[in-house]
Amino acid sequence: MTIPDFQTIMLPLLKLTGDGKEHSTTDIVEQLAQHFSLTDEELNEIIPSGQRKFYNRVGWARTYLTKSGLLELSKRSYYRITDEGKRVLKENPQQINMKYLEQFPSYIEFRKKKGNGIPGGGNPPPTPGTQTPEEIIEAAYQEIRDNLALELLGLVKNSTPSFFERLVVELLVNMGYGGSWDEAARAVGQTGDEGIDGIIDEDKLGLDSIYIQAKKWESKISRPEIQKFVGALAGKHADKGIFITTSGFTQEAINYVSTIDKKIVLIDGKRLAEFMIDHEVGVKGLTAYQLKRVDSDYFSNG
């Protein structure tokens, strides 16, 4: 079974607490995991913020039920059902979701408040029923990143060969190769067919070298091109190489690389743009957002 969205979790969570007893956060997660027959792999699935996806969704289901007055925090990290929650269970609802919770004044008040941790303040999530607030933020971030990568790749494709050469050198230096920029430029700096070819140090001490080929192409790089590259490696008595292109690689080329002894890394246009973003080449920071959560350890001795 796939990991349920946070609204699907609401009713099973309320039923779990229907015995009127206090339930710890850990107990709630474990019992719900059994209810939804989740595998260890699903339980350990991580969202980009570093939280486990199921734990995050259970947390938001619990938050909405608490803000609606159906659950209450009885003591640190322990929850129990309220009288209102018991009344709801007696009505035997088929599901509890954000629409259902709109009948409770405390929930409406919670949604209206600004700064309550929900994107847009009182506005409902853009995809209710499928994403928690963190997932909405992360999806929006990924969309911005993907669009940025496409824009970057378009600019790289339209750049001159000499500009492309400088870009690759700067990227490799920012990634930790070649020592200083000047050292890397001297090592690479050999203009080829709309790209660069050369050797760059793998580390700052120059203990090993990597052969590089970069092609600013529109068509995909095929297996014969990779075979030529491997031959160039052999001529330089090198075992490691990086092949960078603004386009992509055919499946035959990718399969070929996996069958040879030499270590060849293929970087297509999409991956090139992502590396540029990650290592701040051709981009600059605009705005930073930091998500925070309660530090349970801080309150453990309270």
d(CA 114, CA 8): 26
Identify how many contiguous H helices and E strands the chain contains and give both numbers: 13, 7
Q: Tokens for 91?
A: 């009505």
CATH topology of domain 6-131: Arc Repressor Mutant, subunit A (1.10.10)
Q: What is the pLDDT of residues 230-268, one digit of tens each?
A: 988 888 778 889 999 999 999 999 999 999 989 999 999
Q: What is the residue whose two structure tokens read 């270590």?
A: 263
Q: Is pLDDT larger for residue 148 or for residue 250? A: 250
**pTM for this one?**
0.64
Q: Tokens for 230?
A: 């491997």
Q: Tokens for 119?
A: 């994107």
Question: Residue 47: how many CB atoms within 10 A of its CB?
Answer: 16
Q: Does domain 154-278 have CATH number 3.40.1340.10?
A: yes
d(CA 124, CA 78): 27
Q: What is the pLDDT of residues 63-120, one digit of tens each?
A: 899 989 999 988 777 899 999 999 999 999 999 999 999 999 999 888 876 344 443 3
Domain ranges, ordered by start, for the chain: 6-131, 154-278
